Amino acid sequence: MKNKLLYIEDDKEISAWVSEDLTRRGYHVTCLTTGDRAPNHMEGIDLVILDIMLPGLDGFSIGQRLKKEYPVTPILMLSARTSIDDKLQGLHFADDYVTKPFHPDELAARVEVLLRRFGKMSPPLIQLSHLRIYLDQNHIVDTRSKKEIVLTPKQFQIFTYLLRHPNKILTKEQIYEAVWENPYIAGDKTLMVHIRHLCEKIEENPSQPQIIETIRGIGYRVKQ
Amino acid sequence: MRFRHSLLARYLLIIMVALILWPFVLPAYYIPSYFLDKDVQQKAQYIDTNKLKQMWHHEAAKLDRATPEQIDQKLHTLKDQYPLASMFWVDGAGKTKLVLSKQKNIPSQWTLENSIEFMNQSDGDPITFVSYIGRDQSNGFMVFQIPPSVTKLPTLSFIDDKFLAIYGFLVFGLFLFVSWLFFFKIRKRLVHLQTAMTETKENGIPEKIVVDKKDEISELGKAFNYMVDELIKSRQHEQEEEALRKQLIANISHDLRTPLTTIRGHAYSLQKEPLSSKGKDSLHLIENKVDLLSHLLENLLSYTLLSARKYTLQRKETDIIRFIRESMAGWYPVFEKEGFKVDVNLPEKAMIWNIDPQWFMRILDNLYQNVMRHAKSGRYVGVRIVDYEGKTAILIEDRGPGLDVTTDKKGAGIGLSIVSLMLQEMQLGWTITSSPKGTEIYLYEKK
């Protein structure tokens, strides 16, 4: 099933090629040139792409209104304005922010990440190297041996957190705070121990991990 | 301002009242005792000796041809009137008749010798008046004597008269108090004015003061209120202008970025079309220039806002290690794509700096951007915590051609100017060492 996007942009040229590009990438795109009637089009929408400078109601007001009514629909702000004030104001309600002139690949990547983060695009399974992961069933199968890999709850939480942010480097503070829901204390080794055990279970060769990539000095990344 | 409302007028009034009242101060002290104290009235009648003398002669003259009984009676009456005086009379034969005196040395029979002796004895003390009774000397004479002490004016002496001393102090004190009150009130109002001028509201403008009088200080207050009004007006004007400028900048940004977005979009679409290698090169160039333009635009706007102090600095205690790590996590894919070796070496310990995270993010972004643009040839970026001249510093290094080398990619200047301005505002220091082998940038806290 195609994900439905609502795209509000007043510049017809940009609107035309962005919606064309996103359609080619497999999304169903609804385009609006003003935000005044946006609430009428929210039925079944999975994500809103919103320009800030719009005729009539500006993007901030529309975004805030939409977020209030549809809190689980991610909003991606698209703007030609870049001052820090704008970013702060926008991010109060927006879930991500892309500045013009953006690269279509970047926009598409952010849309995908947001959809995944909000569970709008829960792929029934992820095929990653020799692993087949059923995210919603907490089920991981090694395709070579056809055996199930059993993870502890924490290991599974860490792994899914990385999978939900594909291609993004996550620092150990971010992972720890997302999984344990406590502030990370500098020097804590708990997370590293968990990741080591996780790698031992899922990696073919735990000393040279292929699935969970360690970025030295920064954090971890799962490439998809 | 009218003169009668002025402080000057009030002060002159105080002085005038003091000067006018001063001559009445002593009389005011004595008048009540004169009227209330009979004794004083009694004493007062002895002070004018001439008057006494006239009275005595007058009384004597009236007794012409009076019988000795009448003279006795008269003397008794006078004695009642002047109790402090001694009186006696002598008949024509030189015989002392009625003596209303405690004096012992009055001869009973007057001869020439004792008359002279009596006169010698009473020379000035006691003061003695002698009058012939009636018109005829043969009727005898009558004598009136008073001690000289009662004829003297009472002396003004604070030592003798304690009440006078207290009275003096009271009068003097009253004058001092009124003067003090006058200046105290002025001082209080001036201090109040000073407080009002120095204490400002959140907008940085002092509050207006209440003016309820019409004197010089109130005039000053009115002038101050006028100034506050002017300040508010100019602040409003400034805010309007600022809003206008911000709007203008935002509009320029929007107006320039929108076509850039379209250019990039179409360049991207072109990539999907079959192109010659020359065409692909041109396309690549277009994309690079779009990037460069958008960065330049961003930096230009940031610099304008920053140098006009339009960004608000919100410093808070931040773990800088964690911050650098998260910033690098965002940049890693960009460096990775260009084939950079990213060498991040950060301690496990937290390091707290008092910074504005948004600003610091911007600083790191600009520095990484510079590495990307000017040090691509080195294919290396390193971030470490090092000791720099005794301070803990963040070191960002690359192995590019160094900052002195002029490349075709201009625009580093403004990016670094932004870094410099932002660091300065956050009281952070920085040092750049650049050589053809690479550039090292140290960021540290100013102590």
CATH of the domain at B402: 3.30.565.10
What is the average pLDDT value for chain B, to the nearest integer? 84
Chain A: residue nearest B331 by CA? A169
Q: Do B383 and A81 touch (CB under 8 A)?
A: no
**Nearest chain B Cα distance for residue A22, angstroms:** 12
Q: What percent of chain A has pLDDT over 90?
A: 22
Please give the domain boundaries of chain A with CATH numbers for all domains: 3-117 (3.40.50.2300), 126-222 (1.10.10.10)
In the stretch 310-339 of chain B, residues with CB closer than 8 A to chain A read: 311-312, 319, 321-322, 325-326, 328-330, 332-333
Q: Do B325 and A21 touch (CB under 8 A)?
A: no
Same domain, B31 and B162: yes
Chain A: residue nearest B350 by CA? A186
Predicted pLDDT of residue B393:
94
**Nearest chain B Cα distance for residue A100, angstroms:** 6
Q: Residue holding tokens 């790590």?
A: B325
Residue B426, domain member (yes or no):
yes
**Nearest chain B Cα distance for residue A148, angstroms:** 32
Same domain, B436 and B321: yes
Cβ pairs bridging A and B (under 8 Å)? 116
Predicted pLDDT of residue A23:
93
Chain A: residue nearest B266 by CA? A17
Same domain, B353 and B425: yes
pLDDT category at B40 given cuts 50, 70, 90 is low
Residue B296, domain member (yes or no):
no
pLDDT category at A134 given cuts 50, 70, 90 is confident
Same domain, B434 and B374: yes
Same domain, B12 and B76: no
**Nearest chain A Cα distance for residue B215, angstroms:** 50
**Is the CB of residue B349 less than 8 Å away from at least one CB of chain A?**
yes
Neighbours of B301 (CB within 10 A): 18
> Which CATH number does the domain housing residue B84 bear?
3.30.450
Residue B430, domain member (yes or no):
yes
Chain B: residue nearest A88 by CA? B358
Q: Do A219 and B349 touch (CB under 8 A)?
A: no
Same domain, B109 and B171: no
Return the sign of the alpha-carbon dihedral for residues B256, B259, B261, B263: negative
| CA geometry: angle A178, A183, A186, nearest 5 deg | 110
In tens, the pLDDT along B317-341 reads 999 999 999 999 989 988 998 899 9
In tens, the pLDDT along B64-113 reads 778 888 888 888 888 888 888 888 888 888 888 888 777 767 788 888 88
Q: Do A186 and B350 touch (CB under 8 A)?
A: yes
On the question of pLDDT at B398 being above 90, the answer is yes
In tens, the pLDDT along A152-167 reads 989 989 998 898 888 8
Task: Name which of A155, A70, A170 is nearest A120 in CA terms.
Answer: A70
Same domain, B15 and B146: no
Same domain, B56 and B188: no
Which of B149-163, B290-304, B362-376 has the highest average model confidence (pLDDT)? Answer: B362-376
Residues of B in contact with A102 (CB under 8 A): 261, 264
Of A80, A84, A170, Cβ closest to residue B257? A80
Q: Do B253 and A80 touch (CB under 8 A)?
A: yes
Q: Which of B122, B151, B180 is the last residue of a domain?
A: B151
The answer for residues whose C-beta is within 8 angstroms of residue A143's C-beta and 6 or more apart is A127, A130, A131, A132
Residue B206, domain member (yes or no):
no
Q: Do B322 and A173 touch (CB under 8 A)?
A: yes
Residue B247, domain member (yes or no):
no
Q: Which structural domain, as residue segments, surrounds residue B64?
A: 42-151
Please compute the mean of the pLDDT values over residues A28-35 and round it to a whole number.
91
Same domain, B136 and B7: no
Same domain, B181 and B323: no
Residue B396, domain member (yes or no):
yes
Same domain, B435 and B317: yes
On the question of pLDDT at A61 being above 90, the answer is no
**Is the CB of residue B28 less than 8 Å away from at least one CB of chain A?**
no
Predicted pLDDT of residue B408:
44
Q: Are B253 and A79 in contact (CB under 8 A)?
A: no
Phi, psi at residue B317, to the nearest 5°?
-65, 120
Which of A87-101, B44-58, B186-200 has the highest average model confidence (pLDDT)? Answer: B186-200
**Is the CB of residue B262 less than 8 Å away from at least one CB of chain A?**
yes
- CA B253, CA B250: separation in Å to the nearest integer? 5
Q: Residue holding tokens 């290991």?
A: A155
Residue B362, domain member (yes or no):
yes
- CA B358, CA A90: separation in Å to the nearest integer? 14
CB under 8 A, 24+ apart: contacts of B232-235:
B232/B205, B235/B203, B235/B204, B235/B205
Number of domains in chain B: 3
On the question of pLDDT at B406 being above 70, the answer is no
Of B294, B319, B325, Cβ closest to residue A101? B294
Predicted pLDDT of residue B61:
83
Q: Which of B192, B213, B248 is the last residue of a domain?
A: B192
ipTM, interface predicted TM-score of the complex: 0.75
Residue B200, domain member (yes or no):
no
Q: Are B289 and A115 in contact (CB under 8 A)?
A: no
Residues of A in contact with B257 (CB under 8 A): 80, 99-101
Predicted pLDDT of residue A47:
93
Q: Do B326 and A173 touch (CB under 8 A)?
A: yes
DSSP-derived letter for residue B200 is: B
Q: Are B395 and B440 in contact (CB under 8 A)?
A: yes
Q: Which of B121, B151, B181 is the last residue of a domain?
A: B151
pLDDT category at B412 given cuts 50, 70, 90 is low
pLDDT category at B409 given cuts 50, 70, 90 is very low
Please compute the mean of the pLDDT values over residues B213-231 and round it to a whole number.
89
**Is the CB of residue B283 less than 8 Å away from at least one CB of chain A?**
no
In tens, the pLDDT along A34-50 reads 888 888 888 889 999 99
Residue A199 CB-density burial (10 A; 0-12 exposed, 13-18 middle, 19+ buried): buried
Same domain, B167 and B111: no
DSSP-derived letter for residue A183 is: P
